[in-house]
């Protein structure tokens, strides 16, 4: 079975562009010090201001509809990109959407992704954030999801629960397909990058990227920059998702634990808390390439890439890909810090 035979619900504008960041390279020292950087613009997938979740949701929505679902439930932080895009996908598929969102304050301001959730008329349920601020659900979140599902069922709905970040075997298929797209673009351009950098959160994107890289013989190593803790548990989850996604394609998974590379050196104080280096990366990419990153995911991932350039971990004669997974609406919740 090929990826093209798996049911999809069209949501994304594809293929997304592959953009060479010439001015960013110059700002980082030019060809003598900085590798060529290609940016895969998955912030331009189109659905509700774009982002990587559109690729996952194409497969998840198709699966929900196949199962006869009438409502979606998902979870994330109060500025969750995944929640915003799930709410948008629900609108296009004619489904109800309930969001269980964790927050560190009792009455979070209606801005950024949360504003868009309300504009999309998602049913929002707020839960206190876990103490470690990791991108992980806890007992209170699980209990709220169960309660929301029971309430929907009592109203005659058939709920379909999407895990945090869309991180499931079905969701992982989004970046198996995305890898096929990218490998084709690289081949057409005669490019053979050595690494693909991306923001690693709930690891659903990782499962798809690594599985896709193995299946389609990608020239690069998939290199994740962690944006939250819990590495060991997330490694196990990513490996399981990749294994089950491979089974859906009728193959034994070629992914091993050694393939799951995740650098946890750029998390800072925790998930959703931008580091000074993250804020610098956001400013630098805006001012060189007029491309906006977000403070929870892509800003930290770009900070990791920039640090690797400055420390000489990547050599100037290499080419790398940076997967821009979107998340721009969250930038509006951090305006004061970005302008300091």
Max intra-chain CA distance, the chain:
65
**Pairing of β 71-77 and β 319-324:** unpaired
> Residues 245, 209: contact at Cβ < 8 Å?
no
CA–CA dist 302, 313 (Å, integer): 14
Contacting residues for 79 by C-beta, under 8 A, at least 6 apart: 112, 113, 114, 272, 296, 329, 330, 333
What are the Cα distances from residue 35, in Å, to 27, 72, 298, 325? 12, 43, 19, 21
DSSP conformational letter for 130: P
What are the Cα distances from residue 244, in Å, to 70, 169, 186, 240? 25, 6, 27, 6
CA–CA dist 338, 279 (Å, integer): 6
Q: Read off φ and ψ for residue 61, nearest 5 degrees.
A: -65, -40
Radius of gyration for the alpha carbons in the chain, expressed in angstroms and rounded? 19
What are the Cα distances from residue 181, in Å, to 42, 209, 218, 292? 11, 11, 11, 23
**CA-based nearest residue to 285, from 234, 256, 328:** 328
Contacting residues for 231 by C-beta, under 8 A, at least 6 apart: 262, 264
Q: Is 296 a catalytic residue?
A: no
SS3 per residue for 246-282:
HHHCCCCCCCCHHHCEEECCCCCCCCCCCCHHHHHHH
The residue annotated as part of the active site, out of 2, 80, 228, 253, is 80
For 212, the token pair is: 């896709």
Contacting residues for 180 by C-beta, under 8 A, at least 6 apart: 3, 212, 216
Which residues are identified as catalytic? 80
């Amino acid at each position: 079975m090929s990826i093209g035979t798996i049911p999809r619900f069209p949501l994304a504008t594809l293929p997304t562009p592959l953009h060479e960041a010439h001015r960013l390279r110059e700002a980082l020292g030019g060809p003598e010090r900085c590798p060529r950087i290609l940016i895969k613009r998955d912030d331009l997938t189109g659905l509700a201001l774009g982002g990587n979740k559109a690729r996952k949701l194409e497969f998840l929505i198709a699966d929900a509809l196949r199962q006869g679902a009438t409502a979606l439930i998902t979870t994330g932080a109060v500025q969750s990109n995944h929640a915003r895009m799930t709410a948008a996908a629900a609108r296009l598929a004619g489904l109800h959407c309930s969001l269980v969102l964790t927050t560190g304050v009792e009455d979070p301001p209606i801005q950024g992704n949360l504003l868009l959730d309300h504009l999309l008329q998602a049913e929002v349920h707020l839960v206190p954030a876990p103490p470690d601020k990791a991108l992980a659900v806890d007992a209170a979140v699980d209990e709220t999801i169960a309660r929301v599902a029971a309430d929907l069922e009592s109203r005659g709905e058939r709920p379909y629960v999407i895990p945090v970040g869309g991180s499931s075997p079905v969701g992982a298929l989004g970046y198996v397909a995305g890898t096929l797209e990218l490998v084709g673009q690289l081949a057409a351009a005669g490019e053979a990058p050595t690494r693909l950098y991306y923001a690693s959160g709930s690891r659903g994107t990782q499962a798809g990227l690594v599985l896709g890289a193995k299946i389609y013989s990608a020239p690069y190593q998939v290199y994740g920059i962690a944006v939250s803790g819990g590495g060991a548990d997330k490694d196990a989850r990513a490996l399981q998702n990749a294994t089950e996604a491979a089974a859906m394609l009728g193959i034994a998974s070629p992914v091993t634990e050694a393939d799951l590379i995740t650098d946890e050196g750029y998390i800072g104080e925790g998930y959703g808390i931008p580091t000074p280096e993250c804020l610098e990366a956001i400013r630098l990419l805006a001012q060189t390439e007029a491309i906006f990153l977000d403070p929870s995911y892509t800003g930290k991932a770009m900070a990791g890439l920039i640090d690797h350039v400055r420390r000489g971990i990547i050599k100037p004669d290499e080419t790398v890909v940076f997967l821009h997974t979107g998340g721009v609406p969250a930038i509006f919740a951090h305006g004061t810090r970005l302008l300091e």
